[in-house]
A and B are shown apart, each in its own frame.
Chain A
Amino acid sequence: MRLLFAKILTMTTGVLILFLALLFAYIQNQ
């Protein structure tokens, strides 16, 4: 369960940062 939790946390964090990096680029180019 704990390994699964760490994996989910890693993937969620990665995807969130990726999304926010895109948002950063989008805001910058408005």
Chain B
Amino acid sequence: MNYVQRGFFWIAVYLCLVLMPLFVLLLAPGPSGSGLWWDFSIALGFAGTSMMAAMFVLTARFRRPSAPFGIDLVYYFHRWIALVLFVFIAAHPAILVFLEPGLLGELQPSVISWHMLAGVISVVALTLLLLTSLWRQQLKIHYDGWRIWHALLSITALLLAIVHIEGVGNYVSSPWKRLLWAAISASCLAVLLYARLVKPMLLLRHPYRVQQVVKERGRAWTLVLRPEGHSGFPFKPGQFVWLTLGNSPFALKEHPFSISSSAMQSQTIELTIKELGDFTRRIKEVSPGQTAYLDGPYGAFSVDRHPSSDYVFIAGGIGIAPIMGMLRTLADRGDGRSLLLFYAYNTWEDLTFQEELENLKGRLDLKIVYILDNPPEDWQGESGFITDDLLTRHLPSGFKHYQYYLCGPIVMTAFVEKALRRQGVPLPQIHSELFNLA
């Protein structure tokens, strides 16, 4: 199967996982209908709960199902489908109360039953999950703390929703239907155990040691990591890893970074990190010898995935890191294909990898167009934004057949993607890395 077929297969698996419990409940013996909208609201509750359960699978970083899409895209799907499931779950009590306002009386603290209380707390936990995820930065919640709360709230929301289902007993009167929801809970716990216990244990057996912390231009640092007592792992140029530094892999303190080193030299792995947030600002304080753990490789952003005679790379800021990994790999392979790099940065002085990029021109058929926000007075090159005009000036003839790799701030990649589309580049030839997984 190719990537597209595999993608459709895993989408079908996801839909089966989410919808199967709903239709199993239709099998006899079942209650008689209570009215179309009443049963619709119950169906939304069931579907929302199985969608919650599927979230645990989506975020467990299973390599095979995420490979056709790239795990960054799976995380975006996780974010957006969470909004959909929240609407379903919120609509469930809202429709019931609208149809039967007397139900509100059952929620009074003096008379509320344990299973209704479980349902209410589940909705509250889900609401908190949503608010803290959508506005984490505005609420000034630290990323590491947020991850722990995110895990706890999601477990609470799911388990209490299942307690609510079992307690109400509607559609789950027969033992095997109760067993179905018990099996769903058990599967989620198994996935959770795999992600939070088994996987960290495997990482613990494959540690890395920080060999060097190299200062780069533009407030960026390169961590050079060497596998300790094992041979590392093979990866495709452009992929990324989750890095845990100075903590045990059980600590939930991991951050995603692109591999900037060559895939042909897997005896060391380099991650180039710009000082942007709480964690990245502390990278310069890392000392050689420190233990690190790498969970990876992940990602679909790689030249190896889309063979072509010519490639165009478009980088903004530290978005150069995965592209540097691809350029270094192509250079190590002695690749003779034609490469064009558009590299946008604030100033010439801060341009990360400035010297090495110039050196790579000698090893590759590489042309570089620098675009500066604040160019020096004697600057002869491009400045400002990557516009249609700028692309037209530099793209060679035949550019509609090239493969394009975009990495940088999401606003920039969206803008450039539209510009390329306007120039007539087919959408399947435009690939982007979606940073900001946090």
CB contacts under 8 Å to A, within B38-81, are 38-40, 42-44, 47, 51, 69-70, 72-73, 76-77, 80-81
- The answer to whether B428 touches A10, judged by C-beta atoms less than 8 angstroms apart, is no
Given A2-B432, A3-B434, A17-B51, check contact A28 B77 (CB 8 Å). Answer: no
Contact of B428 among A1, A3, A17 (CB under 8 A): A1
Q: Which residues of A contact B34 (CB under 8 A)?
A: 29
Please determine whether B15 and A25 come into contact, CB atoms closer than 8 angstroms.
Answer: no
* Chain A residues, CB < 8 A from B35: 29
The answer to whether B414 and A3 have CB atoms under 8 Å apart is: yes
Q: Mark B97-140, 1 if CB is under 8 A from A, else 0.
A: 00000000000000000000000000000000000000000000
B80 to A25, Cβ gap below 8 A? no
Contact A25 B84 (CB under 8 A): no
> Chain B nearest CB: distance from A2 CB in Å?
5
Q: Does B88 lie at the interface of the complex (its beta carbon under 8 Å from any beta carbon of A)? A: yes
- CB <8 Å contact, B432 and A1: yes
Contact B36 A29 (CB under 8 A): yes
Beta-carbon contact of A17 and B47 below 8 Å? yes
Query: Contact between A20 and B22 (Cβ–Cβ < 8 Å)?
Result: yes
CB distance from B18 to the nearest CB of A (A): 7
Q: Is residue B295 within 8 Å, beta carbon to beta carbon, of the partner chain? A: no
Contact: A17 with B18, CB < 8 Å?
Answer: yes
| Bound form: Cα–Cα A16–B47 in Å | 11
Counting CB contacts under 8 A, is B430 at the interface?
yes
In contact, A24 and B431 (Cβ under 8 angstroms): no
Check B80–A24 contact: CB distance below 8 A: no
Task: Provide the main secondary structure of the chain B interface.
Answer: helix
> Quick one: closest B residue to A23, CB to CB?
B43
Interchain CA distance A16-B432 in the complex, whole Å: 28
Bound-complex Cα distance A1 to B428 (A) = 7
Q: Does B29 contact A (CB under 8 A)?
A: no
Residue interface bits A1-30, CB-to-B below 8 A is 1, else 0: 111011101100110111011101111111
Q: In the complex, what's the smallest C-beta–C-beta distance from A17 to chain B, in angstroms?
A: 5
CA distance A6 to B69 in the complex (A): 9
Which single member of A1, A13, A30 contacts B33 (CB below 8 Å)? Answer: A30
B430 touches A29 (CB 8 A): no
Bound-complex Cα distance A9 to B58 (A): 14
Whether A1 contacts B40 in the complex (CB less than 8 A), given A6-B77, A9-B77, comes out as no
**Contact yes or no, B22 A2, CB < 8 A:** no
CA distance A29 to B42 in the complex (A): 13
Q: How far is the CA of A5 from the CA of B432 in the complex (A)?
A: 12
- Give the complex CA separation of A20 and B39 in angstroms: 12
Q: State A7–B80 Cα separation when bound (angstroms).
A: 8
Determine if B94 is an interface residue (Cβ-Cβ < 8 Å). Answer: no
Q: What residues of chain B have their CB less than 8 Å away from a CB belonging to chain A?
A: 11, 14-15, 18-19, 22-23, 25-26, 30, 32-40, 42-44, 47, 51, 69-70, 72-73, 76-77, 80-81, 84, 88, 410, 414, 417, 427-428, 430-432, 434
**In the A-B complex, the 5 residue pairs with the closest CB atoms:** A29-B33, A21-B43, A25-B39, A25-B40, A14-B84
* 8 CB-based A-B contacts, threshold 8 Å: A1-B417, A3-B410, A13-B84, A21-B44, A22-B40, A24-B26, A25-B42, A27-B26
Which residues of A approach B to under 8 Å, CB–CB? 1-3, 5-7, 9-10, 13-14, 16-18, 20-22, 24-30
